[in-house]
Amino acid sequence: MGRSCDPSASPRRFRAVLRFSSPPAFQLTFPPLTVLRLAVPADADRWAEFAARTFRETYAPPHGPCDPDDVDAYVAAHFGSTIQEAELRDPATRVLLAESGGALAGYAQLRVGARPERVAAYAPLSDADPALVAGADAELARLYVDRAWHGTGLAATLFDAARGEAAAGGAAALWLSAYQRNPRALAFYRKRGAVAVAAATFTMGHEVQHDWILAVRTRP
């Protein structure tokens, strides 16, 4: 299980769902000109660097609440060219990259066929919709946006693109794990229609953190 998080401000420019059957580039409509495309193994180096940096910025001080040593240990274990290349070669993984001027602005990582019940200390909520949970066959494992792009609507575009990709893969619902101490991320996902269906834990170093498992239908 990954940890999906978007600490950016609420989306405010547009909404679109993009579906990908091959890795073409799509022109998006907000300035500056941005391209959203599926990642390929050749992107592993730059994606790994971007993923590690944005994870640190989210969870380590001064912006995040976690012990920097714990964050360093997690980054060392989960991010690196070899690790990300293996993920990109996994047929169940889809990674959507947002680029502007040749630089990465954000990404979303999807795992098709992943089930929420497999996460650590999964505890379903009593009022969770059984049909929503049953249809949750795709995980939004990670969603991160460069801090310069917070508040532009890019996070919402990545979320909607991942949602569309999950629908194209046959999933009736998309699920994700979000830190309970990240109110901005929780507000972002709830604004996109996601609801809590379970609680779970996420271990970072010596700290066991508490997450919400959120789910949303792939076709509104």
Q: Which domains does the chain have, with CATH numbers?
A: 26-217 (3.40.630.30)
Q: Which of 19-23, 147-151, 168-172 has the lowest mean pLDDT?
A: 19-23
Q: b vs e for 49-79, b when ≥16 Cβ sit within 10 Å of the residue's Cβ?
A: ebbbbbbbbbbbeeebebbeebbeebbeebb
Q: What is the largest CA-CA distance in the chain?
A: 47
Q: Please name the helix (run of DSSP H) or strand (run of DSSP E) that holds residue 49, with its range, or none.
A: helix 44-59
107, 144 in Cβ contact below 8 A? yes
Quickly count: other Cβ atoms within 10 Å of residue 166's Cβ.
28
Looking at the chain, the whole-number percentage of residues with pLDDT higher than 90 is 71
Predicted pLDDT of residue 81: 98
- Over residues 170-206, the pLDDT tens digits come to 999 999 999 998 898 999 999 999 999 999 999 988 8
Across the chain, mean pLDDT equals 87
Both tokens assigned to 185? 């991320």
Q: pTM for this structure?
A: 0.84
**Torsions phi, psi of 198, nearest 5?**
-165, 165
Least confident span in 26-30, 38-42, 104-108, 137-141: 26-30
